[in-house]
Amino acid sequence: MSLSITDVKLAVEDELIEGAISIRDGRIDKIGKTALLPKADRTIDGKGLIAIPGLIDAHVHLRDMELSYKEDFSSGTLAAAAGGFTTVLDMPNTKPPTSSDERLVEKMAKARTAIHVNVGFYASLAESATDLRRMTNAGAIAFKLHMNEPNSDAWHNDRQRLLSSLEECGALRVPVAVHAENGPAIAKIQTKYREAGRNSARDFLRAHAPRFELEAVRMIIDLARRVHSNVHVCHLSTRRSLYEISAARKKGAQVTCEVTPHHLFLDTSDLNRKGGLALMVPPLRRRSDTIALWKAMLGGQIDIIASDHAPHVLEEKETRDVWAVKPGLPGLETTLPLLLTRVHRGEMTWAGLVRLLAEKPAGIFGLQGKGRLEVGMDGDLVLIDPKAQFNIDSSKFYSKAHFSPFDGVKCVGRPAVTIVAGHVVHDRGEIVEKNQGKVVVRGVR
């Protein structure tokens, strides 16, 4: 099976260079001039399109299992393909949670028959070294620690117990992704507010105050530094915690961090209009925070962009009780168009986009053969139509979650063709070939 893409522009560093790409047996086997390409079973005319490596979303909630009413492996990976993502990493806070090697194996087995792009799986961070080792051997891409979990007697709220778990992850060389918010402190305020009948979006913001993110970031950096484990801070939302991470990195801490499109494109002023649709954790922050995040991201202080795709049914978002609203929003089909619009305006470079959404996530999570458009790499790529203009319309999402705080936003640039291992999965809004995704296992190509 071979595929040629002719007369396409390739994003190489900060330049767009005319060329052609040949994919054979699932891998890129030649990049060069169109005239010099070997004959292929199928050819795509790439005129007017820009080729970039298939994007990697390191923070996705595909749900499935008992939460498949929100999203399942099929709908979630179709949304990924339509959004230009050829690999996604699935979070473990499902029902049941991915908290043992058996659960991980079970999830992988179910996914294998249903996925349309590649999927790697997180497992929940465990206290026991045996459990961590077993989940690593079963192929977990990384571990996830939810510091925001309200349970104040959880083992991970004990510094010493958390430290020994992180130490084991360091020895196993598996990264630990962290939701950094001080859970017990937030839970306390929530209870107080609930009892007082306080129930507004502003109360939600107060309960998830910036200082709770900062406290958690400080604690995790401090612990990670002591045991040399690789910690990845998810969905960083404030200027203060950003500075904390930058300072720690300057002193040699192995900490990476991520930002989401909603924390880049929305701020607290959007909450009035969007209500529950714009509620997530950590919540939207002030405009000054979004400005700082953009600046840091473009300056290379933020490693990756991830969507934190968190689908729910609409009723779960529109309930009047702010404490009952399910936090999160679908992001797989809006992330790339929103960012391409910035590239179109000259506010972001192609190299920056590729670094944040492909190269760096592949590096941090050890995804072999992915993240770069080079000979020998996997034949996962996206052809971008940089001039396509459209308005975001969540009713057309492949995701089961048909809502978005970005509805109606005008975008310039969209993923035209999504290719997984040399197979065209998505072509201008249509799904072409299904079931091309593979379960990605740590350290194995």
**Residues at the interface with Zn ion (CB under 5 A):** 308
The residue (of 308 and 380) whose beta carbon lies closer to Zn ion is 308
Check the CA dihedral 196-200-204-209 and report its sign. Answer: negative
Between CA 436 and CA 256 the distance in angstroms is 30
Check the CA dihedral 75-76-81-82 and report its sign. Answer: positive
Q: Name the β-bridge partners of 121.
A: 90
Give the active site residue among 308, 321, 393, 407: 308
The residue (of 313 and 432) whose beta carbon lies closer to Zn ion is 313
**Minimal distance in Å, beta carbon 404 to Zn ion?**
16
**Minimal distance in Å, beta carbon 176 to Zn ion?**
14
**Minimal distance in Å, beta carbon 308 to Zn ion?**
4
The residue (of 134 and 285) whose beta carbon lies closer to Zn ion is 285
* Closest CB to Zn ion: residue number: 308
The residue (of 267 and 308) whose beta carbon lies closer to Zn ion is 308
Q: With the CA atoms of 314, 319, 323 and 328 taken in that order, what torsion angle do they form, in degrees rounded to the nearest 10?
A: 20
**Minimal distance in Å, beta carbon 281 to Zn ion?**
8
**Minimal distance in Å, beta carbon 179 to Zn ion?**
7
User: Annotated catalytic, 308?
Assistant: yes
The residue (of 103 and 144) whose beta carbon lies closer to Zn ion is 144
**Minimal distance in Å, beta carbon 61 to Zn ion?**
6
The residue (of 90 and 168) whose beta carbon lies closer to Zn ion is 90
Q: Which residues are catalytic?
A: 308
